[in-house]
Structure formats: structure tokens, C-alpha cells
Amino acid sequence: MYLDGHSTTPLAPEAMEAMAPWWHAQVGNPHSPHLSGMLASQAVETARSELASLIGCDPQELVFTSGATEANNIAIRGIALAALEGGIGRRDIVVSAIEHKSVLSSASSLRSAGFRIIEAPVDVNGIIDISALERLVGIETLLVSVMAVNNEVGSIQPLADVVRIARAAGALVHVDAAQGAGKLPLDCAEFDLASLSSHKIYGPMGIGALFISSAASLRPLPVLFGGGQEAGVRPGTVPTPLVVGFGAAAKVSRTRLVADAAHSGRLSALFLEELRSRQVQFIENVSAPSRVPGSLSLRFPGNDAMSTIVKAGDRISISEGSACTSGQITASHVLLEMGFTYQEATETIRLYFSRYNSEADAIEAAAVLSAIVAR
């Protein structure tokens, strides 16, 4: 049983069906001028339009990438490069302390170019401290980067407040929306840049996108070099099958947005009820109103998370609240920034109930975990 939807989601049947002909029957480089190329190009643009409908933007404001990690790098490093080339003196980049590593690392890499990277703190629920953000963002701020939904604990960020603060200072706004798209209503018209991931919305792996607002005061420069594909921002042949699958997944996610949230929320609530009925001792790291429906970050005191995951591995797929870096297991930076101790962080597991999970899954998962942590 798969309950690790924050890592990746199952491929939607609609996406698989849409991609199928583009793997063998329909062959064509979407950048070629012949009929096969034009048909591929039409398919790519249809998918671009579907993705635009999901996040509320113009299709031409979307650039396809290999995933959200690349999109984050283009957004952050590309804007910094554009500022340097354009003689813009702002050198502060403000990020939340619990951003994905692709945001934190790409921002950190800019220190050698003279940028100051400022991390805004979060509260016990993993929500950015708005008062602190107001103090940290000022006339020297070039970019504010805050995720829509945290990838480890599911906390929903107050993006309207983030945008308000950034705009007041004349700073650009980047949102890592990889975990928010398809789970929450998103209006990217409020942002300057937003990163997206196909395999987080039931699409194929290996494809993502970067939203770049046509109204943004600065456009990111490319961080890779090659052809002039994707408006000159992301060179390389656009992979038609993956883009088509991404578009199909976006269409389904848009039409099922409300139903999926309700379904995932019901399953996570049922799972918690089942744990309580079995008198399992656990702690919810993030309160229900603060997290995206279906997401759970749970601590089982006295039970090492990795040991729990290994023991449950032949029955359920879940992940831990810690990250593997260079082969070494370390406590999650997200949980530590939220105020958890090292031990508490290593007792934490992460679950996400997707649209394809059932009530039977929730009940069985609770039974499996209760048998393990009670030993």
C-alpha cells in the first residue's frame, strides 16, 4: 500500500493513456517544421494550456523544465543573474527556513556572487513567521521565495501575506508550488515566479514547469545553455510524451481539486481515529487547520522512525521525517526549524493519502503501524 504521496504520486490513468501514443505511434520533435513535428508541437501547447488552467495563468507564461528542482534553480539563480547583468543593486534573497533543499542550496550558492541569503523563521506548525518576515524584507531585498505547502509536514503557507510584504518592499516573489498545485487553489497571477512538478500531481516523473509572470519587473536568465527552446529560458528538446502526461494530469487535478481534498482529508482523519481506537501513543506535529488535507507528520515517542518504516515496509510505503544527505541520515531541517529536538525529529514519520487510496487502506495502515509501535 502506497502512502508516500509527498515523495511522488501514482500516475493517473488519464495521464498514462494520453502519453501512450507519443511513445511509439506518434513520433516527432516539437521543434521540427514537418508535419510530425507540428503535431507534437500542438500536443505540447495543448498540455501547456491545461497546466495554465490549473494555476490561473497565461499558457505563454509557462516554461517546461525537468522538474521543480530545475525550476527552483532557474527562478532563484536566473533572477540573481538578471539582477547582476542589469545593474540592479539589491542583493538580499529571503527564503523560509524550511524550504526544499533545491531552494536553500541554489540560494546559498549565490553568496559567492555577493548576495546575502536570509532565512525567515517558522512557528511550531511550520508556518512562516509573518512578523519576522516583515522585519527581514526591505529595500535591499531582490527576491522572496516561500513554498506553498511544505513537502515534509504539509504546512500551508500564508502566501497572500508573503506577497503583500514583498510587494511593499518592491521585491519579486517566487513560490515553490510543487506540493501545493493540485491540492489547493492557486492563483499564480499574484506571483512573479512559481515552480511546479508533474509527479506531485499524478503525472509522470522527469517534467516540471516554471511560471514566469509577464508582468514581472525582471525575467530570469537561463542557467543552462543550448538552443532557444522555451522562450530562451530553458534550452533542450521538450519531451512531448512527458509534457502530454503532465497536461493530462493537470486537467484531472483541476476538475477533481475539491473532491480530492475532501477524500484525502477523510482518509487521514479515519487513519488517526483508528490509531486512537487502538490506544497508540502518537503526536501530530502539525495541527489539522495548518496542513494540506491528507498530509500527516506523526511522532511515535520511543520509536525510531527508520526502524518503524523498515518493519512496515512489506505492507505499507511511508517515509521518515529525516533526510538522507550523502548517505548519512540526519534529522530533518524542517522539524528542527520548527523547534523539535533531534530525537523527536528521528521519531517522526510522514504519510500522505492520495486520491487512489481507500478507507480500507487507512484502516489497514493503522493496524500495521499500531502492531509495530506497540512492541
Active-site annotation, residues: 324
Residue 116 host element (H or E): strand 116-120
- Residue whose grid cell is 546575502: 116
Give me 79's grid cell.
Answer: 533572477
- State how far the alpha carbon of 13 is from the alpha carbons of 16, 182, 210, in Å: 5, 16, 25
CA distances 136 to 76, 96, 315, 352, Å, are 18, 11, 46, 33
As to burial, measured by CB atoms within 10 angstroms (0-12 exposed, 13-18 middle, 19+ buried), residue 91 is: middle
Q: What are phi and psi of 362, to 5 degrees?
A: -65, -40
Dist CA 119 CA 99 (whole Å): 9
The torsion angle over the Cα atoms of residues 289, 291, 294 and 295, rounded to 10 degrees, is -140
> Long-range pairs for 222-226 at CB < 8 Å and ≥24 separation?
222/74, 222/78, 223/73, 223/74, 223/77, 223/78, 223/81
**Residue 351 backbone phi and psi in degrees, to 5:** -135, 155
Q: Which residues of 154-186 are buried (b: 16+ CB within 10 A; e: fewer)?
A: bbbbebeebbebbeebebbbbbbbbbbbbbbeb
DSSP code at position 203: -
Strand partners, 209: 64, 196
Measure Cα distances from 117 to 50, 52, 103, 177 in Å. 35, 31, 11, 21
Helix intervals (H) in the chain: 13-23, 35-55, 68-85, 101-108, 130-136, 159-169, 240-255, 257-277, 305-312, 333-337, 342-345, 359-373
Q: Which three cell numbers stand for residue 225?
A: 545553455
Positive or negative torsion for Cα 336, 338, 341, 346:
negative
